[in-house]
């Protein structure tokens, strides 16, 4: 899981009639950041830098920066390829290599990318990593994924085991267990691989930056509590979370990005504007939704359009929290560097139990005054699709607001059926409307 | 007279329902969807408006008392005669179209022989036409393409044989011509055909001829009454193709929910199994949809599944249900994948199982699939209404009744003989509501 930061599919590949895409300044800034990271990765070897790969949920970006690693996020690479219409052939390449149809398509796009000559989404080389830092935060596929990469392409795996919040809370022993692993396993391994000595003060400096950026990100996402919402908390938010969920958390560039973004969004809010869509200002907010599940990346723009064309705005999403749940108060803490890294990992959305996920969604429904919940269930995701119907029922029952269920996939273009999805979405929006009318009429 | 029309553009058939101001169903129309949705919508609407005229005739004649107890027989005869007139008109058009195609020079030296064979074929078709529409005549389909097609093929074969002409030439000219005729909308000709039909009816029912003037007067009145299409709502997969504004288009989920509610106000759960999708819908006491689920990513368990099986068995779709009803046991079919089911079917046949028993298993398999979609939508609540083309299949209904009882206990299961019109009825009701109900104000405000 990750974000589409910085991507912009070429108009020719996207639609038959090329149109200029409308973006906020912060979006262009973010695009530049992401492209710069790919350039960093492409040139890491010649600059004598080692490369680390790590997953978005539970990523220890600040820690990796302490060892001068160039940082690659495999889910982000996969989705960036999908946004550029390149993932289909990567998935098929991995299938030819023996991966079954049911395997997570992020995994297949990643393997396919290595098999096809280690070229990243921007067209620059994306060399295989020297270390695979596996911060295991609830998605069991992660473990198999890095195992596969190690098996096929080498590279050392360093595993951080983050205990699942099975009973819905973080006990001190859980935190201590993670800190102990950081001290005794992760840090020594990273020192050995990078040849750089760990400096906890350097980590503290990075965490200070993280904290500032987190503050601004939360402020941006929470503007959606207003009517009309100045942002789309799903389609827009996946851009906003780009830098902080990937290689930039802890950098001054990210802090600056979130400062600019916040100013921009607050200006939209003051101006009473709705979200910005790729075709300009949102046509007007008619339906406010909460969404559970990642977006489809292969048809991202078409998917988004199905919402704004009907006047739907997503006011909150769980997906925009996969790289860190900050809206309930957690911040990285320079005074407790390793402890707060541990708490960050433990608090990841993917590491929350069922009841916590349901509570979180119900809370969003109320706090953001949403009309309903939409679940986009991912065909190839065995880890998080399980139980989504139950979540849907429970949220319906608790909030009394209607929910709907659609299915698509992350980066496999074969599993996006536009006609079916549009049909369900339109039905759902009309259903919300009918219920509203009925409440007034009957 | 103000009318409210709902049109349901399905993947297989297009249906239309016409309501009057008191929300009474005045007429229903159905046609095959073909590749041209605009035409399908126009034809279905036309059919429904014709049916509406007949309903108005019945009302007017009933009120006038001119026919007394023979009203039903008279209307039935008139309707058959009208269908015959309409058929003859289309047949004439088809002949003209065929002649046009022969004249293009495509048939070179065979043109004269083909022309003569066509004249002979159409002559015979015209001659036998009244028997197709006689009382008690059975037709597999009411669509012009089907009736004319099957008869043309049969007659042309005989004619070709007698004339020593290649049959393929006559097939070719038919194939080239039928589409143009099928896609023609006969909106304006209803009065002419009706008045001609009326004369046939008087001839067929000599007892009524004496009261001809008394009968003609209310019919002329009805024909003179302009039918105003006050509000039209479209639904179904092809809805985006309708030349309507967004306000006039509703999702078929909402239309099916409301249509089922109108048919059976106690409905809480609706199952619709159509050609390409299966919908499970929960509605509240007002017919408003509360939640829904549909088959995703795969069309197994839809009407097409049965169509595929029928093809595999070399049978007609409508023959599957009756065959399955003769089963003495139900063979377990594990695959709900349409294509795999074909393989399972052949496998069971090879093992020596009876076709009837395998058919029963296949019907159970399709319903099992629907049960899972129903469960996803929140289960089955009393009353339960089953709609869509598959609701006409007695074996599917039997399997459904059994599975509902096994899983949810005893409850009222509603199956309406007109259930194929559920979506169109819901759409027409939305049309009526938009104009006649208080909701209209709210709807407009909402749209603004």
Whole-number pLDDT of residue B336: 63
Whole-number pLDDT of residue B110: 85
Chain A contacts of B376, Cβ < 8 Å?
Answer: 389, 405
For B210, the enclosing helix (H) or strand (E) is none
- Between these two residues, B186 and A172, which has the higher pLDDT value? A172
Q: Is A405's CB within 8 Å of B289's CB?
A: no
Please state, in angstroms and rounded to a whole number, the distance separating the CA atoms of residues B247 and B234: 10
Q: Is B252's CB within 8 Å of A415's CB?
A: no
Whole-number pLDDT of residue A41: 96
Residues B347/B376, Cβ–Cβ less than 8 Å: no
For residue A310, give the chain B residue with the closest CA.
B246
Whole-number pLDDT of residue A48: 94
Q: Is B294's CB within 8 Å of A417's CB?
A: no
The predicted model gives B14-35 an average pLDDT of 91
Identify which of A338-347, B23-32, B95-104, B243-252 has the greatest average pLDDT: A338-347
Please state, in angstroms and rounded to a whole number, the distance separating the CA atoms of residues A337 and A201: 9
Ordered alpha helix ranges (H), A141-251:
141-153, 172-181, 187-194, 200-222, 237-240, 242-245
- Short-list B266, B291, B290, B306, CA closest to B388: B306
Gap from B408 CA to chain A (nearest CA, Å): 19
Q: Is A441's CB within 8 Å of B439's CB?
A: yes
ω into A33 cis (within 30 of 0): no
Average pLDDT of every residue of chain B: 88
Q: Is B439's CB within 8 Å of A437's CB?
A: yes
Cβ neighbours of residue A184 under 8 Å, at least 6 residues apart?
Answer: none
pTM above 0.95, yes or no: no
Please state, in angstroms and rounded to a whole number, the distance separating the CA atoms of residues A421 and B351: 41
Please state, in angstroms and rounded to a whole number, the distance separating the CA atoms of residues A78 and B352: 51
For residue A393, give the chain B residue with the closest CA.
B378
A interface residues, B as partner, C-beta within 8 Å: 379, 389, 393, 396, 402-407, 415, 417, 419-420, 423-424, 426-427, 430-431, 433-438, 440-442
Q: Is B254's CB within 8 Å of A437's CB?
A: no
Tell me the two tokens of residue A89. Answer: 């052939």
Give A342: exposed, middle or buried? Use CB within 10 Å, 0-12, 13-18, 19+.
buried
Please state, in angstroms and rounded to a whole number, the distance separating the CA atoms of residues A402 and A433: 11
What domains, with CATH codes, occur in chain B? 265-415 (3.30.420.40)
Residue in this structure with the two tokens 């938009």, named with its chain if needed: B434
Question: Between the CA atoms of B282, B285, B286 and B288, what dihedral angle is there, to the nearest 10 degrees?
Answer: -20
Nearest to A407 among B253, B297, B438 (CB): B297
Sketch the domain layout of chain A as residue ranges: 22-441
Chain B contacts of A406, Cβ < 8 Å?
Answer: 296
Q: Is A437's CB within 8 Å of B446's CB?
A: yes
For B13, the enclosing helix (H) or strand (E) is strand B13-19
For residue B122, is pLDDT > 80? yes
For residue A374, give the chain B residue with the closest CA.
B291
| Whole-angstrom Cα Rg for chain A | 21
Q: Which of A427, A428, A432, A439 to mutate to test the interface with B (most CBs of B within 10 A)?
A: A427
Q: Which of A293, A385, A401, A423 to mutate to test the interface with B (most CBs of B within 10 A)?
A: A423
pLDDT > 90 fraction of chain B, expressed in percent and rounded: 49
Q: Which of B284, B297, B299, B447 to mutate to test the interface with A (most CBs of A within 10 A)?
A: B297
Gap from B290 CA to chain A (nearest CA, Å): 6
For residue B440, is pLDDT > 70? no
ω into A228 cis (within 30 of 0): yes
Q: Which 3 state secondary structure label does DSSP give B7?
A: strand
Whole-number pLDDT of residue B343: 83
Among A4-18, B189-203, B233-247, which stretch is predicted with the lowest mean pLDDT?
A4-18
Among A55-69, B12-26, B238-252, which stretch is predicted with the lowest mean pLDDT?
B238-252
Chain A contacts of B438, Cβ < 8 Å?
Answer: 441
Q: Is A419's CB within 8 Å of B437's CB?
A: no
Q: Is A424's CB within 8 Å of B442's CB?
A: no
Nearest to B289 among A396, A406, A431 (CB): A431
Among A258-262, B236-240, B279-283, which stretch is predicted with the lowest mean pLDDT?
B236-240
Q: Is B291's CB within 8 Å of A426's CB?
A: no
Q: Please provide residue A304's backbone torsions phi and psi, each rounded to the nearest 5 degrees.
A: -60, -45
Please state, in angstroms and rounded to a whole number, the distance separating the CA atoms of residues A46 and B210: 107
Q: Please provide residue A368's backbone torsions phi and psi, each rounded to the nearest 5 degrees.
A: -100, 10
Average pLDDT along chain A, 442 residues, taken 10 residues at a time: 44 47 81 94 95 96 98 96 95 94 93 94 94 93 93 93 95 98 98 97 98 98 98 96 95 96 96 95 96 96 96 97 94 98 96 95 98 94 85 95 93 89 92 84 46
Q: How many CB atoms neighbour CB B196 within 10 A?
A: 18
Chain B contacts of A396, Cβ < 8 Å?
Answer: 291
Strand partners, A313: A288
For residue B299, give the chain A residue with the closest CA.
A420
Nearest to A430 among B251, B294, B296 (CB): B251
Whole-number pLDDT of residue B249: 87
Size of interface A-B (CB pairs under 8 A): 63
Residue B194's pLDDT band (cuts 50, 70, 90): confident
Chain B contacts of A394, Cβ < 8 Å?
Answer: none
Nearest to B250 among A424, A430, A440 (CB): A430
Identify which of A360-374, B110-124, B359-373 has the greatest average pLDDT: A360-374
B interface residues, A as partner, C-beta within 8 Å: 237, 250-254, 284, 286, 288-294, 296-297, 376, 378, 437-439, 442-443, 446
Q: How many CA atoms lie within 13 A of A325 on its CB side?
A: 19
Whole-number pLDDT of residue B187: 66
Chain A contacts of B284, Cβ < 8 Å?
Answer: 438
């Amino acid at each position: 899981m990750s974000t589409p930061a910085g991507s912009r599919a070429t108009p020719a590949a996207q639609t038959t009639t090329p149109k200029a895409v409308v973006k906020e300044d912060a979006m262009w800034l973010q695009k530049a950041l992401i492209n710069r990271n790919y350039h960093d990765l492409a040139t890491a070897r010649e600059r004598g830098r080692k490369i680390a790969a790590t997953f978005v949920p539970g990523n220890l970006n600040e820690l990796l920066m302490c060892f001068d690693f160039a940082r690659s996020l495999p889910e982000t690479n996969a989705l960036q390829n999908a946004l550029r219409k390149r993932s289909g052939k990567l998935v098929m390449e991995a299938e030819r290599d023996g991966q079954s149809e049911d395997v997570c398509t992020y995994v297949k796009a990643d393997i396919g990318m290595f098999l096809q000559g280690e070229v990243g989404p921007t067209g620059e080389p994306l060399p295989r990593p020297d270390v695979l830092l596996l911060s295991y935060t609830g998605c069991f596929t992660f473990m198999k994924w890095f195992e596969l990469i190690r098996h096929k392409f080498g590279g050392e795996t360093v595993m951080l085991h983050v205990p699942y919040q099975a009973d819905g809370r973080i006990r001190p022993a859980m935190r201590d267990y993670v800190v102990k692993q950081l001290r005794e396993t992760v840090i020594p391994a990273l020192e050995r691989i990078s040849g750089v000595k760990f400096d906890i003060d350097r980590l503290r400096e990075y965490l200070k930056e993280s904290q500032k950026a987190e503050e601004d990100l939360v402020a941006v996402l929470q503007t959606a509590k207003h009517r009309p919402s100045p942002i789309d908390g799903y389609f827009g938010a996946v851009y906003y979370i780009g830098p902080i969920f990937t290689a930039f958390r802890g950098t001054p560039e990210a802090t600056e990005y979130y400062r600019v973004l916040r100013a921009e969004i607050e200006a939209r809010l003051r101006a009473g504007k709705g979200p910005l869509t790729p075709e300009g200002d949102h046509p007007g907010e008619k339906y406010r939704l909460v969404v559970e599940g990642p977006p489809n990346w292969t048809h991202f723009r078409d998917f988004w359009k199905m919402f704004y064309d009907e006047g739907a705005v997503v006011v909150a999403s769980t997906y925009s929290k996969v790289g860190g749940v900050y809206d309930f108060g957690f911040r990285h803490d320079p005074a407790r560097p390793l402890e707060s890294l541990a708490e960050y990992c433990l608090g990841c959305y993917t590491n929350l139990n069922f009841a916590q996920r349901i509570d979180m969604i119900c809370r969003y429904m109320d706090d953001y005054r949403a009309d309903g919940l939409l679940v986009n269930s991912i065909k190839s995701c065995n880890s998080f699709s399980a139980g989504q119907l139950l979540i849907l029922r429970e949220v319906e029952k608790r909030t009394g607001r209607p929910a709907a269920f659609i299915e698509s996939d992350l980066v496999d273009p074969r599993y996006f059926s536009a006609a079916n999805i549009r049909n369900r979405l339109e039905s759902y929006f009309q259903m919300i409307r009918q219920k509203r009318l009925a409440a007034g009429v009957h | 007279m103000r009318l409210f029309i709902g049109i349901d553009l399905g993947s297989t058939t297009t249906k239309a329902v016409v309501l009057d101001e008191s929300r009474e169903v005045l007429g229903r129309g159905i046609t095959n969807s073909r590749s041209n949705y605009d035409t399908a919508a126009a034809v279905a609407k036309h059919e429904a408006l014709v049916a509406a005229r007949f309903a108005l005739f019945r009302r007017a004649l009933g009120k006038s008392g001119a026919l007394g107890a023979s009203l039903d027989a008279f209307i039935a005869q008139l309707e058959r005669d009208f269908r015959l007139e309409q058929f003859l008109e289309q047949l004439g058009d088809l002949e003209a179209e065929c002649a046009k195609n022969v004249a293009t020079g495509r048939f070179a030296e065979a043109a004269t022989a083909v022309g003569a064979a066509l004249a002979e074929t159409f002559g015979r078709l015209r001659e036998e036409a009244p028997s197709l529409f006689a009382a008690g005549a059975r037709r597999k389909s009411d669509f012009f393409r089907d009736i004319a097609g099957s008869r043309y093929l049969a007659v042309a074969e005989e004619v070709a044989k007698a004339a020593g002409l290649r049959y393929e030439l006559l097939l070719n000219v038919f194939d080239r011509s039928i589409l143009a005729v099928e896609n023609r909308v006969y909106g304006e000709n209803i009065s002419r055909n009706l008045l001609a039909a009326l004369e046939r009816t008087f001839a067929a029912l000599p007892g009524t001829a004496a009261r001809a003037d008394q009968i003609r007067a209310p019919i002329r009145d009805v024909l003179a009454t302009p039918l105003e299409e006050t509000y039209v709502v479209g639904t179904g997969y092809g809805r985006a193709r309708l030349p309507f504004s967004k306000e006039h288009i509703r999702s078929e989920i909402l239309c099916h929910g409301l249509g089922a509610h109108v048919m059976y106000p106690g409905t809480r759960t609706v199952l619709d199994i159509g050609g390409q999708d299966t919908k499970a819908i929960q509605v509240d006491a007002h017919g408003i949809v509360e939640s829904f689920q549909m088959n995703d990513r795969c069309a197994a368990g839809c009407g097409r599944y049965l169509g595929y099986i029928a093809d595999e068995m070399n049978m007609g779709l409508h023959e599957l249900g009756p065959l399955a009803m003769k089963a003495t046991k139900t063979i377990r079919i594990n695959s709900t994948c349409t294509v795999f089911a074909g393989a399972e079917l052949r496998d069971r046949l090879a093992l020596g199982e009876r076709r009837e028993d395998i058919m029963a298993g296949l019907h159970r398999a399709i319903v099992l699939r629907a049960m899972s979609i129903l469960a996803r939508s929140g289960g089955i609540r009393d009353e339960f209404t089953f709609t869509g083309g598959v609701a006409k299949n007695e074996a599917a209904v039997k399997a459904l009744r059994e599975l509902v009882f096994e899983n949810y206990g005893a409850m009222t299961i509603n199956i309406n003989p007109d259930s194929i019109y559920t979506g169109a009825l819901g759409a027409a009701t939305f049309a009526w509501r938009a104009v006649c109900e208080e909701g209209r104000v709210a709807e407009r405000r909402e749209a603004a």
